[in-house]
Each structure stands twice: as C-alpha cells, then as structure tokens.
Structure 1
C-alpha cells in the first residue's frame, strides 16, 4: 500500500477512515496541506513529496502521484495540468478524472495557435490536442511556427 495509508494506520485512524476526517488528522498523515480549487478539495503531499487531492470528507479524489498540479483554470476552465515524476504532462478535470493522459513533454495554453487547441510536444516533435482532450494532430512535426495574427 502507499506510504500515506501506512501513516494513517500507524495513528490508529482505521475507524475514522470511514467517517469524516478532520484537518488535524490529515496533517498527521501528510507532510503538508493547503487549500486549492475546487474549493472543497484539499491538496495533499505524501511523504515522498507527490501531490494529490482529498475532498472535505477526507475521500481521496486524486491520488498523490503527481510531482506538480497546476491551478485549475490556468490552461482551460475546470482543468488542471499535472506533471509526473518523469516530467510528462497531462490534465485532470474538476472531478479528478484524467482527461489528457500525462504523456506529453510540453503543453502550451489553449488558443495560442487555434481556438480550443493546445500545442503539445513529445520527443521534440509537435502536434495538438483539442479542448475535449483528444489528440487532433499527432506530435510528428519538427516545427510548427506561430502565425502572426
């Protein structure tokens, strides 16, 4: 099991796991906590420094498997860019679901090239994803210059 689950059992919180977990108990299990969007979610850091989210009842919404979780809405409304230990990026939505698998080395903001498209790169080649999380142009191009508008 994950390190943070071991910490919960070490503090005899087995009974509480089925009930509402209070912030003080979460603090025992995680290295650091702070509030983040969605407003009822708590961003948590496991002992290895990886990030995830719990809801206000203590239920895990996003497991702490990401090196970095960017703020929701920074790239697209209700989406947050996530980065893995391997340096790969993708997106989760405001329900915690992965909407773009973290497989890209780089993701640009939506709308820079075309409305509802974001430039992505993989192995120094470029393509695009759309605002539904679909890869609409595979990352096979060595260069995609930004056109002046």
Structure 2
C-alpha cells in the first residue's frame, strides 16, 4: 500500500509540443550567446534551459514568463535581439469562435455514431439469433431470401470486402494521372505557402563589435564599470546596466532607465521602462507599452507609437513594429513596411 502512495500525487508529464519554427536548422541551432543580450538575461535563459534560438522561437511570448525570473523587460530585450534576424516567437493559437464545434466534441459525437451503429448491428444479430431459434415449421413458412441475397452478417462482410478492394484500387492508381471524361483530373490540394507567404529569411552581415574601454562588473547584485586596467571608475550602484556606446550607457535605478556619461553624470533622467544602447546618435526606449527614439540630449526624435523598436543598424535605419508588421525606419521618420 505504501508503494502505491508514492505515485498517487505524481503529476502526469505533459506531452512535448510537435511545433517546429518555420526557419532553417542553422538559424534554430544558433546559440543565445550570439544575440547580444545582457549578462543577466542570458543567465536567466540558460538557467531556464533555453540554449538556442530555436528554444526561444518554439515558445509563445506568454510562455517565456514561465521561465524563472523572466519578466517583461527581458521579453522586450529578447524581442529586440531576434527582430533583426527576421524571426519571431511562436504565434498564438486562434480562439474558438462561438457556434463552432470543438474537436473533442466532434470526436465524442463520432463515438456516439459508432455506438449507434454497434447497437444496430446488435439488433441484426439478435434478429438472426431469433430466426435460428424459431421452430422449423416457422422457418419453412417464412418468406425465403431472394436469389442472390445473403443474411445481414454476410452482406456486411461482402460490403466491407468491396470497400477494401475499391480503396486498394485507388491507392494503386495514386501518384499517376487519372483521366475523367477525357480530361486530366485537377489537383485540388491547397498550397498554403501562397495563401500565407512567409518573408524570406535574410541573414544580416556579422558586425564585429569593438570592445569598449569601460566594462561592466557586478558586486552584491549591483552594477558598475571598470577601465582597461581593472580600476573601478563607476561604483556598482545600478540594478541594471548596458555597455557604453557612443560614450553613453543606459542604467536602471528604482525600476526606471536613464543614461549616464563616462563621468557617471546622469545626462538623461530616469523615466523609461526599457532602454537600448545608442547607435548613430539615437537610442530606442519605451514608455509603457509603446516605443520610440531619443537623441543624446534626451529629446524625443521618434514618437512613442510603435509596439517594438531596435537600435539603429549602423547603416542608417532601425527596425520598428506596429500592428504586427515590421519595417525599416530612417532618421527622417519614414518607415518602409515589409
């Protein structure tokens, strides 16, 4: 009895999802270490068993919150990191509309139809049994079967054999061209790639990142900076810190981001929910659910109207997302949607 109690409260294992992201194996096998993520986000992903880009793309956005210590800020960071690769998270499943039957219900109704058929077969068998048990005189007086007719059981068996022969004939002809009424039979299968075209994945050229003379370090859960000699130049007082880019770095204090210079002077005050590094003089930041861009003085250069935004690529444009579409934005604010 004790042995059975050991397994009473064990939760059944959930079946593994058979979803595979629609990208090449090389893309799916890319390590998360190549996504230019912060040290903390990279550590959270790896501790949660997410080692490759495929591990990210096989999850929906809401599934990422199941990873321990993964929050909205880290989701924003990961989304910005994968966007330049032309990939995205697993799409959400469409909701079942009212009036449409659930698959489980259809399956259950199928079982009910089978039960009814089995019941009818049982009635036929019971009818045959009563006929066999009837006295000989009654059977002789009963109306004889017409020539060529068989009992119900034999007739069902013959119908099944005919159906099997028809299926075999169809399978034998499959792969060839059937002709009907002198014309070739058309292929009515649907090519979903034409209905739902997917953007061709284009790999961006690998950009060699120059190592800055200031590097981050952590002490007692706080972040600061050291110079090339290892000397502490900015004390570890920030809850989050990004690398210096264009002599400025995004740092977090009390849950909000601002920007400091190399003298640890706060140039842009703490007001943003998330922030990226400066590139081409602009940095992508967010206020609430919307994203935009600011320059090195803190002036808003692109309004906060986009659902996502990435740093500028170094080629004169950044990437923005709105209403489910990605596009390239230039410094004049023009967006070429894809």
**TM-score normalised by L of structure 2:** 0.24
Higher helix share: 2
Larger radius of gyration: 2
Higher relative contact order (CA 8 A, sep 6+): 1
